[in-house]
């Protein structure tokens, strides 16, 4: 059912939405999935951004991979309770991206300042969560959720600002993957 809904959504978007990227590359399309990665590596101004994003994502991949095992071993949580913890993190992310980001973060801080603050928050959050203290673990959840929500937007914004206008879609694809 979900696949069918996604297909209907994609077809509707194709027919009813206007193209918003007027600076797009209209050259003949030859698809080679390795080429964008090579171009990304060769784009020196973007290289550090890609590396920071890769390391940040890898940290969260590792956390999400072992989170359930850690919660079970450290606190005796089962799959339902672990799901509740992931839900709490998801709610914190949603609140941050819908309320806190526009009304507080973007107005008071630069992208660079936000990046540093969010990296600090994720370090504090991960250290608190690894302490095996239940109170520290629950205190860490907003730190982890906030840093994940805001850092993702900051990196995407930074990437778009640094990208060549004809390569913005490719850059966002690399950031998203």
pLDDT (tens, 9 = 90+) of the chain, 177 residues, equals: 778 888 898 888 888 877 766 677 777 767 777 888 888 888 888 888 888 888 888 888 888 888 888 888 888 999 899 999 889 888 888 888 888 888 888 888 888 899 899 999 999 998 998 888 989 989 998 898 888 888 888 888 888 888 888 888 888 888 887
- What is d(CA 107, CA 46) in angstroms, rounded to the nearest whole number? 25
Q: Which helix (H) or strand (E) holds 10?
A: helix 2-16
Q: How many CA atoms lie within 13 A of 49 on its CB side?
A: 26
Handedness of CA 110, 159, 93, 148 (dihedral sign): negative
Reference 148, options 102, 105, 90, 106; nearest CA is 90
């Amino acid at each position: 059912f979900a696949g069918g809904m996604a297909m209907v959504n994609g077809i509707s978007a194709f027919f009813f939405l206007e193209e918003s990227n007027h600076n797009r590359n209209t050259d003949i399309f030859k698809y080679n999935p390795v080429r964008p990665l090579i171009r990304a590596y060769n784009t020196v101004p973007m290289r550090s951004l890609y590396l920071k994003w890769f390391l940040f994502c890898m940290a969260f991949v590792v956390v999400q991979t072992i989170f359930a095992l850690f919660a079970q071993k450290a606190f005796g949580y089962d799959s339902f309770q672990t799901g509740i913890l992931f839900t709490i993190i998801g709610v914190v992310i949603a609140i941050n991206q819908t309320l806190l980001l526009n009304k507080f973060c973007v107005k008071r801080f630069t992208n660079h300042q936000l990046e540093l603050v969010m990296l600090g928050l994720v370090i504090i959050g991960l250290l608190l969560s690894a302490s095996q203290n239940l109170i520290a673990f629950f205190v860490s959840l907003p730190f982890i959720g906030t840093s994940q929500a805001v850092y993702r937007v900051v990196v995407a914004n930074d990437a778009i600002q640094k990208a060549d206008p004809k390569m913005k879609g490719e850059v966002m694809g690399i950031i998203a993957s």
